Amino acid sequence: MSESLQNPSVYRALGLSDEEYNRIEILLGRIPNHLELAMYSVMWSEHCSYKSSKVHLKRLPTEAPWVIVGPGENAGVIDVGDGIAVAIRIESHNHPSAIEPYQGAATGVGGILRDIFTMGARPIAVMDPLRFGPLDDPRSRWIAEGVISGISGYGNSVGVPTVGGEIVFDETYRGNPLVNVLAMGVLPTERLVLGQASGIGNLAVLLGSATGRDGIGGVSVLASAGFDETTDSSDKRPSVQVGDPFEEKRLLEACLELLEAGLAVGIQDLGGAGLTCATSETASRGGAGMDVDITAVSLREVNMEPFEIMTSESQERMLAIVEPCNLAQVLEISARWEVIADVVGKVTGDGQLKIRDGFDGPVIADIPAATLHDDAPEYERPLERPSDWSERQRVDAGLAENSDYESDLLFLLRDPSWIYRQYDHQLFLNTVVGPGDDGTLLRLRDPRTGKETGRGLGMSTDGNHRWCYVDPRMGTKMLVAEAVMNIACVGANPMATVNCLNFGNPEHPVVMWQMSEAVDGMAEACIAFSAPVVGGNVSLYNETNGVDIAPTPVVGVIGMHPSLNKPPPGMGITNDLTVIVLGQVVKKNVEMGGSRWAWDVADCRDGRLPEFDLDQAVKTASFVAGLVQKNSVSAVHDVGEGGLAVTLAEMAIRGVTGMIIDGLGDHRLLFNETGGRVVIGVETEKVNDLLKEANDAGIPAETLGFSGGMKFRIGEVIDIGIDELTEAWRTELPDALGQGTVSA
Amino acid sequence: MSQRIGVVQFPGTNCEQDNIDTIKNLGGDAEILWHGSDTIGSVDAIVIPGGFAHGDYLRCGAIARFSPIMTAISRFAKSGGVVLGICNGFQILTETGLLPGALQKNVGLKFLCQMESLIVDSTSSAIGRWFKSGEKLQIPINHFEGNYVCSPEVMSELEAYGQIFLRYESNPNGSIGSIAGISNKEGNIIGMMPHPERATSDLLGSIDGNRILRGLLEGNVKNNS
């Protein structure tokens, strides 16, 4: 350890600040060598340490009687009854996808799946909330096409269905797309495994791919810095990992087999910060230390430096902690699945992470394992409301009226099926409601026997940068409510939330204010819906040339359908139904701020969000879930982007049936995005009972009109044939992304 | 006595459990046949399920055909045993030469996962005999390489020997003759791109796939034991 590293250029190049470097010297009591410095730099990166967000995340609710594992582990775990637990997690792969769309998205899927099977759960569902720059920008189209192909190529091949997600195109994501990915798995409750290394003398076995030079410093170089025009993004391409779904599939099967046989005391995936993170996290969680033999790691390339081996983010690798007596069996299972298994270390009692050159060879790095996590810096960064906040709030976003409501409506319609038909969304035979509807609904079957439980899991991912830009606190409340309302539409009551907090540069006080406000809004909503946050991810530095993205917290909500004996009615309207909107009361001059109409039609990003009553939304969600569970409605659809007009049009298109709607005479009533509303279609003879039931439950209900014919009519202002409506809805994405390939 | 179905698993196969669950729900018995085994034991019929055998690297089915189990399956099939290849299983059967033709990339050059309406054509195969010609079935597809191609000579043989089991009502992938599933001349080896195991419950939107897999449980064309 002779080399002096007090030259700031060395640690700054690794992404460490002067202050952080000094902290390392104090912790070690000496000058760190290059390897040690590299290990601290990845572990203390924003991506791994949450150093800017930790102070805010503490305000989120994380507990409920059914929560088994909350945030901090590889995935959150909840108890769903019958001895079955569900593991769930969401992550971002934004920066890798901006640079190398296919591999960025593919490795995002691979990484989140490992987080799930690390817990002992078989992953059974993936969801992909995606956000790209505008469709008329060629580079954004290239990114979108690559990301979608990457998810399809990796997800389908690894054998986990992609059952839902979101698609958004907006100027704010032009240089910085958001590629978030959620995964969910089921496990017998007793099989739950945690990422801990315990038992002195136990062995650390590295399973999966050989280690290469791909992805070195991915967390510090890529994920923890923004993009600007001086960095040619192709320079950063070597920091993006390359995925191999076939390797992941064999690794998944091998790991699940050895966990089922009880052959691992702990297991941890290798994601951001690679072997450094996996060894130090397992050791410090287990209150132990670890000796790692750098020479035992199978390599893809010759002459790799120790720091490269310790920080490589090569994909498809896991670290299992195994008792020596079980090693032979672990190696046998690995061999059968053609998975490389190297004994790379052993658990020690001294709390030190020692990297050695040889199994008992000389020590080349010696760090107190816990300091890589527990002593990571925590910043209470300055926060500040935007200086033009009050001014922006005073703007009426509904002023720039365009009187051609028909063209506004046609413009706002979008069928996402061009995307999701590229994803296997049916594998495992659980998908009762797949992508393209409000929420996803999966049959819940016993992971031990495959037997149906007669219950279902509802899931939805939601974000809304427009709402959150206009008002991050209220916007976040509304998007949590939207996710809950989406699963209510498939008959599920909420149980838990996971979040992916996508924001700009945390060194900008306005960004920290946005995050702080969003966290408070999320906390309030998650408490109100009894859906605590069981896990999440923070993605910062989403900026291009110093311009931050609009704040984009994304949530995934999971819930329970207690009596699944019939598919939910879905959004398609059928003939002769009464069309009713449930939820919040909307006043005539409702605010249009943050609506898709204001942003994309009127080109206005200011204004206020419509009034929103969270308690009312809680009651409405529970009421709607009940209606679906009792099979007492014939069609149901959450009111989201584009307001009532788009919601009703989608119901007509999906049901290939017209509607005659009264009222809604202006753009505000047609396109406002007041949260917490659901449209239902009800058979005429059931209407009176239903209205009474709604009234008794304190749910505002308003009859809008009736279904029938092949014309979509709203008062005097809209009169469009279903064919024309369908054409506009169906062709946008294939025309823009698929060179016009509408389904053959 | 209930029929025992062998379900083949290569590394990368992913529909094995879905087929086993379905077969069991239909009253049959099912077991995994590992790709490295050179024997099929005492099964009555075989399913080669969907997925990405050996990662579909090189070309779909191109590596799987060399797995030891395929030699045993060829022997079984040539002696009249019933073999059903679904999706990747169909691709493997054409690569092995047990079925004619090949499956290339879909015309739109995109993966497609969606419900399809199928029309039963020939009813002369071991499974086809349980259907009426012209019947419509709702069964989803899930593939990138499902575009069936063959030479004009093979096509006229397929027609002449009643080997075309299923056609798409509206061709999603560019297959010649809208072919969705075929059999060999003897009718005991059947390959189809749609996934019957995914159309086995009202909760999943169709139950038409049950009839295909039930057909498998009814035994061989020639020796129905």
For the stretch A226-263, pLDDT in tens is: 666 555 555 555 567 789 999 999 999 999 999 999 99
Q: Which of A425, A427, A566 sits opposite B14 (nearest CB)?
A: A427
Task: Provide CB contacts within 8 A for A251, sequence distance 6+.
Answer: A114, A207, A208, A209, A316, A317, A318, A337, A339
Tell me if A680 sits within 8 A of A629, measured CB to CB. no
Query: In this predicted model, what pLDDT tens digit does every residue of A293-338 receive, in sequence order?
Result: 999 999 999 989 999 999 998 999 999 999 999 999 999 999 999 9
Residue A744: predicted pLDDT: 35
Whether residue B203 and residue A432 make contact (CB cut-off 8 A), yes or no, is yes
Name the minimum distance, in Å, from the CA of A531 to any CA of chain B. Answer: 27
Name the minimum distance, in Å, from the CA of A158 to any CA of chain B. Answer: 7
Residue A626: predicted pLDDT: 98
Measured between beta carbons, the chain B residues lying within 8 angstroms of A428 are: 17-18
- In terms of pLDDT, which residue wins out, A401 or B188? B188
DSSP state of A686: G
ipTM, two decimals, is: 0.95
B183 membership: H or E segment, kind and range: strand B179-183
A410, pLDDT greater than 90 = yes
Residue A197: predicted pLDDT: 79
Tell me if A76 sits within 8 A of A535, measured CB to CB. yes
Buried b or exposed e, range B117-150, using 16+ CB within 10 angstroms: ebebbbbbbbbbeebeeeeebbbbbbbbbbbbeb
Interface of A with B (CB under 8 A): 152-153, 156-157, 159, 244-246, 249-250, 253, 337-338, 417, 420-429, 431-432, 443, 450, 564, 566-567, 738, 741, 743-744
Query: In this predicted model, what pLDDT tens digit does every residue of A492-551 receive, in sequence order?
Result: 999 999 999 999 999 999 999 999 999 999 999 999 999 999 999 999 999 999 999 999
Name the minimum distance, in Å, from the CA of A421 to any CA of chain B. Answer: 5
Model pTM score: 0.95
| Range among A188-192, A206-210, A231-235 with highest mean pLDDT value | A206-210
Q: Which of B12, B107, B114 sits opposite A249 (nearest CB)?
A: B12
Instruction: Write the CA distances from A426 to A164, A430, A443, B120, B198, integer angstroms.
Output: 11, 7, 11, 23, 7
Whether residue B51 and residue A152 make contact (CB cut-off 8 A), yes or no, is no
A714, pLDDT greater than 70 = yes
Q: How far apart are CA A704 and CA A689, in angstroms?
A: 17
B152, pLDDT greater than 70 = yes
Which of A47, A56, A95, A508 is an active site residue?
A47
B121's tokens: 């054509």
Q: How confident is the model at residue A473 (pLDDT cuts 50, 70, 90)?
A: very high
Q: Which of B18, B171, B203 sits opposite A428 (nearest CB)?
A: B18
Measured between beta carbons, the chain A residues lying within 8 angstroms of B110 are: 152, 421-422, 738, 741
Name the minimum distance, in Å, from the CA of B54 to any CA of chain A. Answer: 7
How many CB contacts within 8 angstroms connect chain A with chain B?
97
Measured between beta carbons, the chain B residues lying within 8 angstroms of A426 are: 113, 140, 142, 195, 198, 204
- In terms of pLDDT, which residue wins out, A463 or B217? A463
Is the CB of B32 inside 8 Å of chain A's CB atoms? no
- In terms of pLDDT, which residue wins out, A715 or A223? A715
Alpha helices in A413-560 (DSSP H): 417-420, 465-470, 472-488, 509-528
3-state SS string for A294-332: HHHCCECCCCCCHHHHHHCCCCCEEEEEECHHHHHHHHH
Largest separation between any pair of C-alpha atoms in chain A: 86
Measured between beta carbons, the chain A residues lying within 8 angstroms of B12 are: 157, 159, 246, 249-250
Q: How confident is the model at residue A218 (pLDDT cuts 50, 70, 90)?
A: low
Query: In this predicted model, what pLDDT tens digit does every residue of A106-147 receive, in sequence order?
Result: 999 999 999 999 999 999 999 999 999 999 999 999 999 999
Which of A34, A93, A561, A637 is an active site residue?
A93
Query: In this predicted model, what pLDDT tens digit does every residue of B110-134 receive, in sequence order?
Result: 999 999 999 999 999 999 999 999 9
Q: How confident is the model at residue A220 (pLDDT cuts 50, 70, 90)?
A: low
Q: How confident is the model at residue A7 (pLDDT cuts 50, 70, 90)?
A: confident
Whether residue B113 and residue A738 make contact (CB cut-off 8 A), yes or no, is no
Name the minimum distance, in Å, from the CA of B43 to any CA of chain A. Answer: 22
Residue A217: predicted pLDDT: 65
As annotated, the active-site residues of B are 87, 195, 197
Name the minimum distance, in Å, from the CA of A83 to any CA of chain B. Answer: 20
CATH architecture of B4-218: 3-Layer(aba) Sandwich (3.40)
Whether residue A159 and residue B51 make contact (CB cut-off 8 A), yes or no, is yes
Whether residue A429 and residue B174 make contact (CB cut-off 8 A), yes or no, is no
Instruction: Write the CA distances from B79 to A25, A144, B219, integer angstroms.
Output: 75, 51, 14
A453's tokens: 């439980």
Is the CB of B21 inside 8 Å of chain A's CB atoms? yes
Query: Helices A687-697 and A614-629 meet at what angle, rounded to 10?
Result: 140
| Range among A212-216, A427-431, B217-221 with highest mean pLDDT value | A427-431
The phi-psi region of residue A574 (left if phi > 0; otherwise alpha if psi is between -120 and 50; otherwise beta) is beta
Measured between beta carbons, the chain A residues lying within 8 angstroms of B171 are: 744
Burial class of residue A382 (count of CB atoms within 10 Å of its CB; 0-12, 13-18, 19+): exposed
The residue of chain B with its CA nearest to that of A568 is B203
Residue A549: predicted pLDDT: 98
Residue A219: predicted pLDDT: 61
Whether residue B204 and residue A431 make contact (CB cut-off 8 A), yes or no, is yes
Cβ count within 10 A of residue B152? 8
> Side-chain half-sphere of A642: how many Cα atoms within 13 Å?
20
- Which of A657, A554, A661 minimizes the C-alpha distance to A168? A554
Mean pLDDT score of chain A, rounded to an integer? 93
Residue type for position A499: N
Measured between beta carbons, the chain A residues lying within 8 angstroms of B204 are: 426, 429, 431-432
**Rounded average pLDDT over A347-353:** 95
- Whether A373 sits among the annotated catalytic residues: the reply is no
Return the domain boundaries, chain B.
4-218
Q: Say how many Å lie between the first and final Cα of chain A, rounded.
A: 66
The residue of chain A with its CA nearest to that of B53 is A246
**Radius of gyration for chain A, computed over Cα atoms and rounded to the nearest angstrom:** 26
A393's tokens: 């709030």
Query: In this predicted model, what pLDDT tens digit does every residue of A38-77 receive, in sequence order?
Result: 999 999 998 888 999 999 999 999 999 999 999 988 999 9
